[in-house]
Chain A
Amino acid sequence: MKKKKTIFAAFVLLLIVVVGGAVAYFTDVDEKTNVFTIGSVNITLTETNWDTTDTTPANGVPDASEGLMPGETVAKNPAIDNESTKNDAYVFIKVVVPCTTETTPQEIFTYTINTDTWTELTGSAVACTSGGTATHVYYYGTGGTLTVLAKASNDTTPTSTSKAVFDNVTVRNTLKGTEGLSGNKSIVVTGYGIQKDGLASVVPATVWTYFSN
């Protein structure tokens, strides 16, 4: 009896499905497929004048920048190569400088920006902390306008290079022996690039948010 009920229930269910499936109306369907390509930029940071020779002693610190004294200058010219053959780019450089351990700390190294081609991004600087670092961001351009760093034209001319953001760094000459200069001090320079095309905004501060957020 139970089996009969089960069969009957299955039959009713089948009937409902069949009847339900028979319902049709006048209909229409439309569709769109939108394909977006995430832009590609391939950049490298170069320092053509940075002497990396490390022989006396071979300790991981380039000889030319080892044992620097206050007021002494060493060649360092960071620039950006755009190696992409497809996309022009806007580029930025971030410089992180070590600071002294004074109550009012100072940046240990100074440099002079090549302001004819690079501009510090207003509001981006992070001031020194005692024994910490200071940060500066520079955009390739002037007067609030980004300069396009052209794509590499072809494989035989594989790069398109910006001018250097600065050419030398100097050890601040107001430093005193008690300000904790022992050990190695590093300036960290980082390059950023973003494709020129497709940006909703080309205001330097807005474009920088793609990297800072």
Chain B
Amino acid sequence: MLVKKKLFLIGIIFFIMFSISGIYALTSDVINNTESMVSTSYVDIKLEEYQNGESYTKENEVVVPGEVVPLHVKINNLGLDCYVRAKITYRLNNTEYIESNYINGDYKNWTKKDDYYYYDSILNQSEVINLFDTIQMPDIMLNESFGDKLVVHILVEAVQAKNFDGNWYGVDVKKAVDKSYSMDSDGKSEIIYENNADKYIDIDDGFFNNLGGLLPGDNIEDKITIDNSSSKRIKYFLSIDKKNFNQEEINLLENVNITIKNGKGEEVYKGKLTEFNNLFLGLYNSGSNELIHFIISIPRNLDNEYSKIVTKIIWVFSVEEENSSINPDTWDLQFDWSIVIFIFSALGLLVVMILEKIENDKIVKNEEG
């Protein structure tokens, strides 16, 4: 009886021990966990018309030949810095006239080339510029055009200023994506260190903390320092936590490229951000101190479909002693070991309890007999 009780007590102790160790294995490796948002920016302009200080909303305004209609047309930049160009067509009964004879404005900051007026400077965020101020009706013979329709069409196109090479030819200008978005994201990344990796990696002021408002053509660089202060050789690994991404985020991240080079300039990895897992960064001797360079590239061929996306990148750094018995290939595998131990502990406790129950039943029967 005493033996059984001892066994029962030992079972409980083991259960508690392994349970705690299992939980510990789940949490102890997360060293740094900060809120972070990575985002892509957007281009957003608005064409605005005013007359006598008020928004111009008239339709089919009746005019007379030769009349000069005050119409102040402005471009308001609601997005990031961009280049703009405007095309104005002037048609009377489907006959196109040379608009410059009838559209009057201050064009000192614009350059006319072919069909377009090009604004000479970058249109900065929140800046409003003037396109023109008046439209003059054709000075045509009276009575001949009474009742005719004069159509003035204004088209304004904008393209991101950053990374734009100035060549509008071939640029597929599309309407901005219509969804709410804040430009305030500073683009901090989140880092998780596994197996006390933070003791062997030196990262100054965070890692990729400037991934806010990304644009096609962007190349963002950062680095870490391998600092093997242990007495053994250590393997370094990097993963991206891909959990909890929605389809939009996946679409974006699948188009983001990363290049990783070690301190000797050797390419460790070059490819999609999402296509590596537990990437081996290198094996470093005790006392090693070496930079590893990272370059994130946003391809130039991304269009508005990839704008206004907010996501989160969680960098998972892990280390492993060279001859460790634990396969550090995945953090998940360590977790599985803990689960296995936990399950065996639970089973052991169950067996003890069953044996205890059988023993008790025998004692009761013997007493009844």
Question: Are B149 and A27 touching (Cβ within 8 A)?
Answer: no
Question: Are B171 and A23 touching (Cβ within 8 A)?
Answer: yes
Question: Are A29 and B173 touching (Cβ within 8 A)?
Answer: yes
Question: Are B300 and A24 touching (Cβ within 8 A)?
Answer: yes
In the complex, which residues of chain B have a beta carbon less than 8 angstroms from the beta carbon of A40?
146-147
Question: Are A28 and B64 touching (Cβ within 8 A)?
Answer: no
Question: CA A7 – CA B160 in complex, angstroms?
Answer: 37
Question: Are B64 and A38 touching (Cβ within 8 A)?
Answer: yes
In the complex, which residues of chain A have a beta carbon less than 8 angstroms from the beta carbon of B189?
none
Question: Are A26 and B146 touching (Cβ within 8 A)?
Answer: no
In the complex, which residues of chain A have a beta carbon less than 8 angstroms from the beta carbon of B63?
36-39, 198
Question: Are B158 and A28 touching (Cβ within 8 A)?
Answer: yes
Question: Are B59 and A35 touching (Cβ within 8 A)?
Answer: yes
Main secondary structure of the interface of A (DSSP, over half): mixed
Question: Are A33 and B153 touching (Cβ within 8 A)?
Answer: yes
Question: Are B175 and A28 touching (Cβ within 8 A)?
Answer: yes
Known contacts A28-B175, A33-B153; A22/B301 CB under 8 A: yes
Question: Are B45 and A28 touching (Cβ within 8 A)?
Answer: yes
Known contacts A20-B170, A24-B300, A199-B67; A31/B151 CB under 8 A: no
Partner pick for A29 among B40, B41, B68, B157, CB 8 A cutoff:
B157
Known contacts A25-B216, A31-B156; A36/B172 CB under 8 A: no
Question: Are A26 and B59 touching (Cβ within 8 A)?
Answer: no
Question: Are A27 and B172 touching (Cβ within 8 A)?
Answer: yes
Known contacts A32-B49, A35-B150; A26/B62 CB under 8 A: no
Question: Are A27 and B145 touching (Cβ within 8 A)?
Answer: no
In the complex, which residues of chain B have a beta carbon less than 8 angstroms from the beta carbon of A195?
62, 64
Known contacts A24-B172, A29-B156, A30-B46; A35/B65 CB under 8 A: no
Q: Does A128 contact B (CB under 8 A)?
A: no
CB of A161 to closest CB in B, whole Å: 20
Question: Are A38 and B150 touching (Cβ within 8 A)?
Answer: yes
CB of B167 to closest CB in A, whole Å: 8
**CB interface residues, B 78-93, toward A, < 8 Å:** 79-80, 82, 92
Partner pick for B61 among A22, A30, A37, CB 8 A cutoff:
A37
In the complex, which residues of chain A have a beta carbon less than 8 angstroms from the beta carbon of B154?
31-34
Question: Are B153 and A31 touching (Cβ within 8 A)?
Answer: yes
Question: Are A25 and B64 touching (Cβ within 8 A)?
Answer: no
CB of B118 to closest CB in A, whole Å: 15
Known contacts A30-B45, A34-B152; A39/B300 CB under 8 A: no
CB of A113 to closest CB in B, whole Å: 25
Question: Are A38 and B173 touching (Cβ within 8 A)?
Answer: no
Pairs A–B under 8 Å by Cβ, sample size 21? A23-B170, A24-B300, A25-B217, A25-B300, A26-B215, A26-B303, A27-B157, A28-B157, A28-B175, A28-B176, A30-B46, A30-B47, A31-B155, A32-B73, A32-B153, A34-B61, A36-B151, A37-B63, A38-B137, A197-B62, A213-B139
Which B residues lie at the A interface, using CB under 8 A?
40-47, 49, 59-69, 71, 73, 79-80, 82, 92, 135, 137, 139, 142, 145-160, 163-164, 169-176, 215-217, 300-304, 307
3 closest A-B pairs by CB: A40-B146, A28-B176, A24-B303
